[in-house]
Chains A and B, each alone.
Chain A
Amino acid sequence: LSTLVLAEHEGGSIKISSLSAVEAAKSLGGDNSVSLLLAGSGQSLKEAAAHAASSHPSISQVLIADSDKFTYPLAEPWAKLVHLVQQRGGYSHIMAASGSFGKNVLPRAAALLDISPITDVTKISGSNLFIRPIYAGNALSTVRYTGSSPCMLSIRATSFPVASLPADSKSDAASIDQVDLSTLDEDDSVGKSRYIKLSSQNVERPDLGNARIVVTGGRGVKSAENFKMIDKLAEKIGAAVGATRAAVDAGFVPNDLQVGQTGKIVAPELYMAFGVSGAIQHIAGMRDSKVIVAVNKDADAPIFQVRVNLFVFSLQNEFMLKQTMLFSHYVIPRDREKGKGEINPLSYYL
Chain B
Amino acid sequence: MKIMVAIKRVVDYAVKIRVKPDKSGVETKNVKMSMNPFCEIALEEALRIKQSGLASEVVAVSIGPVQFTETLRTGLAMGADRAIHVEATENIYPLTIAKILKALVDVEKPGLLLLGKQAIDNDQNQTGQMVAGLLKWPQGTFASKVVLDKEKQVATVDREVDGGIETLSLDLPAVITTDLRLNQPRYATLPNIMKAKSKPIKKFTPQDLNVEIKSDFEIVEVTEPPKRKAGLILSSVDELIDKLKNEARVI
Contact = CB atoms under 8 A, between A and B. Distances in A.
B133 A255 contact: no
Contacts, number: 300
Given A143-B217, A194-B168, A269-B250, A111 B134 contact: yes
B87 interface: no
A281 interface: yes
Interface in A120-146: 120, 129, 132-146
Interface string A187-211: 1110011111111110000000100
A103 B141 contact: yes
A317 to B, nearest CB: 3
A160 B133 CA distance: 29
A189 B136 CA distance: 5
Given A100-B162, A142-B219, A339-B187, A311 B232 contact: yes
Interface string B118-133: 1011111111011111
Contacts of B241: 319
Nearest to A98: B125
Nearest to A320: B237
A310 B243 contact: yes
A177 B43 CA distance: 45
A338 B32 CA distance: 17
A98 to B, nearest CB: 8
Interface of B: 11, 13-14, 16-17, 19, 26, 32, 34, 37-38, 70, 73-74, 77, 93-95, 98, 117-118, 120-127, 129-134, 136-142, 144, 156, 159-171, 174, 179-181, 184-185, 187-190, 193, 215-225, 227-238, 240-241, 243-244, 248, 250-251
Nearest to B172: A192
Interface of A: 74-76, 79, 99-101, 103-112, 114-120, 129, 132-148, 187-189, 192-201, 209, 212-213, 237, 245, 248-249, 254-256, 261-262, 264, 269-270, 280-281, 287, 290-294, 299, 304, 306-320, 324, 336, 338-339, 342, 344-347, 349-350
